[in-house]
């Protein structure tokens, strides 16, 4: 029951690594530079930074490098649930973790392994086990139209809900009133093109593991295009992932 593998990958523009899940696509980036290697060996207890780097390496397919960092995280923080989960996903056969029953799912352009793990398995951190389950060597490179095996039994999916246009933000609603006889203040600049660029940058940051930076970029994009349902959905997902990650750290 193996899904067909494709070499063609969806590439999203990239930027710096930060705090968590390398949530989706950086197959062409070098896994670790000599400078990073020296930094890793020089810092005795880098905790969250090591975890962030490990996540980034896993999204690039470097399980060996990620494992070394995760072992170090657990030595300094034995109760770190995210590190323990990722190490288990590296060392344990995916069928042992996720079961052998599965159903087929065809990926959409906005899917990532972390979002699918959150949606079907209830935990975005299980992205690496899901990648191994489908023989995907680079979890960050997931192209649309690929048929995946999803563990478990297929359940009727609720239709994707289109969010209504965003309500005016409190800061906008409380804008300073115009003085008598003055020209009314200009409306907040709406720039859908720039908003889309910021969304792409935010997705790139998620794929690199910089979940907090991704949230900030999604928020900027939402302000520039407040009625964009895609941006609002991505922002909500990034916030949920950020909460999950920080709760497990």
CATH number at residue 220: 1.25.40.10
- Taking all residues of the chain, what is their mean pLDDT, rounded to a whole number? 75
Question: Would you mind telling me the total number of residues written for the chain in this entry?
Answer: 249
55 domain residue, yes or no: no
Spell out the SS3 assignment of 119-170: HHHCCHHHHHHHHHHCCCCCCCCCCCCCEEEEECCCCCCCCCCCCCCCCCCH
The pLDDT of residue 25 is 33
CA 183, 187, 193, 199 torsion-angle sign: positive
The pLDDT of residue 218 is 85
Q: How many domains does the chain have?
A: 1
Write out the residue range of the structural domain in which residue 217 sits. Answer: 191-248
20 domain residue, yes or no: no
91 domain residue, yes or no: no
223 domain residue, yes or no: yes
Q: Which of 198, 23, 195 is nearest to 110 (CA)?
A: 23
29 domain residue, yes or no: no
Of 97-111, 150-164, 204-218, which has the strongest mean pLDDT? 97-111
The pLDDT of residue 158 is 47
219 domain residue, yes or no: yes
Convert the pLDDT of each residue in 173-216 to its tens digit: 455 555 555 554 444 567 878 878 888 888 888 888 888 888 88
Convert the pLDDT of each residue in 217-240 to its tens digit: 988 888 887 777 888 888 888 888
Of 123 and 243, which is predicted with more confidence?
Answer: 123
157 domain residue, yes or no: no
Give the mean pLDDT of 57-76: 94
69 domain residue, yes or no: no
Of 44-53, 74-83, 161-170, which has the strongest mean pLDDT? 74-83
Give the angle 223-215-18 at the CA atoms, nearest 5°. 145
């Amino acid at each position: 029951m193996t899904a067909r593998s494709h070499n063609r990958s969806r590439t999203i523009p990239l930027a710096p690594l930060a705090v968590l899940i390398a949530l989706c696509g950086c197959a062409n980036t070098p896994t670790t530079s000599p400078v990073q290697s020296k930094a890793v060996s020089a810092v005795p207890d880098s905790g969250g930074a090591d975890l962030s780097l490990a996540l980034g390496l896993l999204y690039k397919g470097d399980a060996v490098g990620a494992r070394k960092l995760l072992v170090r995280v657990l030595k300094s923080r034995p109760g770190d649930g995210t590190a323990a989960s990722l190490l288990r996903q590296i060392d344990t056969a995916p069928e042992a973790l996720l079961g052998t029953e599965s159903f087929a799912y065809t990926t959409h352009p906005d899917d990532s392994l972390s979002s699918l793990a959150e949606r079907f398995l209830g935990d975005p951190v299980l992205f690496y086990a899901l990648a191994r389950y489908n023989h995907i060597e680079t979890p960050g490179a997931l192209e649309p139209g690929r048929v995946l095996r999803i563990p478990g039994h297929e359940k009727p999916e609720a239709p994707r809900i289109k969010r209504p246009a965003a309500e005016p933000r409190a800061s906008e609603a409380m804008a300073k009133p115009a003085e008598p006889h003055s020209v009314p203040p200009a409306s907040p600049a709406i720039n859908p093109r720039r908003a889309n660029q910021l969304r792409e940058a935010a997705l790139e940051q998620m794929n690199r593991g910089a979940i907090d930076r991704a949230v900030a970029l999604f928020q900027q994009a939402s302000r520039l295009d407040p009625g964009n349902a895609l941006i609002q959905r991505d922002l909500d997902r990034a916030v949920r992932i950020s909460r999950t990650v920080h709760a497990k750290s």
